[in-house]
Amino acid sequence: MGCSKGFFLISTIFFLSCKPIFSDLIFNSKQVSEIPINFLNFAKKAEVLDWMVGIRRKIHENPELGYEEFETSELIREELDKLGIEYKYPIAVTGVVGFIGSGNPPFVAIRTDMDALSLQEMVEWEHKSKNPGKMHACGHDAHVAMLLGAAKILQEHRELLKGTVVLVFQPAEEGGGGAKKMIEGGALENVKAIFGLHSNNFLPLGEVASRSGPVLAGSGFFEAVISGKGGHAAIPQQSIDPILAASNVIMSLQHLVSREADPLDSQVVTVAKFQGGGAFNVIPDSVTIGGTFRAFSSESLLQLKQRIKEVITGQAAVQRCNATVTFDSKDRPFFPPTVNDKGLHKLFERVAGDMLGTIRVKEMQPLMGSEDFSFYQEIIPGYFYFLGMQDETLERPAPAHSPYFRINEEALPYGAALHASMVVRYLVESQTGTTTPAINGYRHDEL
């Protein structure tokens, strides 16, 4: 059942007038607990859903890579203008930060990413990517639509906002570290907490999943050039073979996890790049290898980084080769682990439970994937969760980063309503003192 704005206004006025005596009663009231389902019903209205679907499809047709999201950013600003929402632009080249509410503390943020991937779309449909070699294969088009949907909900019910909601539209999540540049640009100024979500094609529609503490791994990238001495493949004694050296390096790198890491401290080292040689009978002068390393604590990541360099240079030297190792770059920054605040996890369980039912709020195992949302969590308490959008009409849902990836648009109202409900509940509980996240208090809790 929907709820009118008048109902919300009466509830809010009553809450404010009675707060000194009845704050706990109001927080536990049926009115507050029904806000999430009322927001969901609002987001499911045909005109609201169609509007979000239209935005998502327009972005999907025109995918843009990190720091190139100029058309996407323009579309976002046009929609914010129509909604009467103030914003700052540009931040981090193409980023947009909007503001809804009183303009006064407390400030709480919702974040979305908006960049596409370098991928040729293989799904044949009316709104297929028009930009060759670029595709929204990770759901960021839907993420933008859901945050704009949340903005519409909040603007329609802004009398509930006893504080300010900050809308963070972020570029370059896919390896470019856009979150870090948004922070440097002042996107988190005065913000006390931040929320973000990601679509999940393997989680049933209408379900959500997350956990307190580490939820996604931190990650880094490495690249090494192993140099020897080229020559004829039939006379190897006159050469110094960098391919053999690189092969030994790769085998030795695998031992960092199997022989040096604590089995209870999950880590990954993967070599995914190997370039060297161009002829069957020529030993090349050099070989380039590269890969990624991941862990759930910053300490483990730094240890892996040190040992990767030692192993590469040491094993290359055994084979009489030289090696130079580089880590990260301007285009591929180091990502910290994504670690959810304990207090915000409890808030998430309350809000999602009120909207979906507690049975549809799942505790998930940590994943070795990474997210630059973690940069925000290094500064303030943050919470990141996964939104189910499995399409039961598909026999085999495609994973993210697949050219066959599809979005189930029926999930858009859930994401929009959850975004809006999380920040409204955060502001309400901030007034009553119920939400007391320990800023980084758990940061060293490891798996």
- Alpha-carbon gap, residue 266 to 370, rounded angstroms: 14
The three-state secondary structure class of 381 is coil
The three-state secondary structure class of 193 is strand
DSSP code for 186: T
Q: Please tell me whether 174 is known to bind a ligand.
A: yes
For the purposes of burial, counting CB atoms within 10 Å of the CB of 218, is it exposed (0-12), middle (13-18) or buried (19 or more)?
buried
Q: Please tell me whether 444 is known to bind a ligand.
A: no
- Alpha-carbon gap, residue 142 to 113, rounded angstroms: 10
Q: Please tell me whether 321 is known to bind a ligand.
A: no
321, 242 contact by CB (below 8 A): yes
Say how many C-beta atoms besides its own lie within 10 A of residue 447's C-beta: 16
Q: Please tell me whether 419 is known to bind a ligand.
A: no
Beta bridge partners of 340: 213
State the Rg of the chain over Cα: 24
- Alpha-carbon gap, residue 385 to 341, rounded angstroms: 12
Alpha helices in 1-102 (DSSP H): 5-27, 30-33, 35-43, 46-61, 70-83
What counts of helices (H) and strands (E) characterise the chain? 12, 16
- Alpha-carbon gap, residue 439 to 306, rounded angstroms: 29
CA 412-415-417 angle, 5° bins: 105
Q: Please tell me whether 378 is known to bind a ligand.
A: no
Half-sphere exposure of 324 (CA within 13 A, CB side): 3
- Alpha-carbon gap, residue 342 to 359, rounded angstroms: 20
CA 173-177-180 angle, 5° bins: 120
Helix (H) or strand (E) holding 210: strand 208-210
User: What are the phi and psi torsion angles at 2 (to 5°)?
Assistant: -75, 170
Looking up tokens 């720091």 gives: 67
- Known binding-site residues for Mn(2+) equal 138, 140, 174, 198, 401
- Known binding-site residues equal 138, 140, 174, 198, 401
